[in-house]
Amino acid sequence: MKQEDTKEKIIDKALELFSINGYEAVSVNEIAKAVGIRASSLYNHYPSKQAIFDAIVESIAKQYEVDTGKIDIHVENVNKDVAIFNKISEEELFKKVYQIFEYSLHNETIARFRHMMSIEQFRSPSLSALYSKRYVDRLVEYHANIFKYLIANKEIINE
């Protein structure tokens, strides 16, 4: 197995285990066993369980941006989105938002990640902060920036 394939398999199996049992309950040995390698071999790819978790978070963020970008909604980039929103009908906008919603609910990897983060937000202050940042603060800021743009461009009135 090539190193990149092994790294991806480690991320996939770790996410699966974390989403079922929680981060704290899963050992490096369990991850290695699920991947089909020795724990010592796992350390050739990631120095720690935390590094695996960090790789999962980074991988999911990249996947989400690529996949939602195909729908033409870039939750990370208000300027791109507002430009798109200004060119489409309300029905088209609804369809895009619905696609994001469906993707977020039904994509297996995203659902596992969301489940893992939902479990861990109550067990770990640092993961709770990450969960809040990723799923609450970021979205509130994104929508606030959309409204700021609309107000600045007099598309809606700030009363």
**Which CATH number fits the domain that encloses residue 146?**
1.10.357.10
- pLDDT band of residue 29 (cuts 50, 70, 90) is very high
Please report whether residue 42 resides in a domain.
yes
- pLDDT band of residue 152 (cuts 50, 70, 90) is confident
- Tens digits of residue pLDDT in 136-149: 787 788 778 888 88
The span from the CA of 64 to the CA of 60, in Å, is: 6
Question: What pLDDT is attached to residue 10?
Answer: 98
Is residue 52 within 8 A of residue 60, CB to CB? The reply is no
The span from the CA of 156 to the CA of 3, in Å, is: 52
Please report whether residue 103 resides in a domain.
yes
Q: Domain range holding 26? A: 3-152
Please report whether residue 158 resides in a domain.
no
User: Is the pLDDT confidence value at 99 over 80?
Assistant: yes
Per the structure, the count of domains in the chain is: 1
Question: What pLDDT is attached to residue 27?
Answer: 97
Please report whether residue 159 resides in a domain.
no
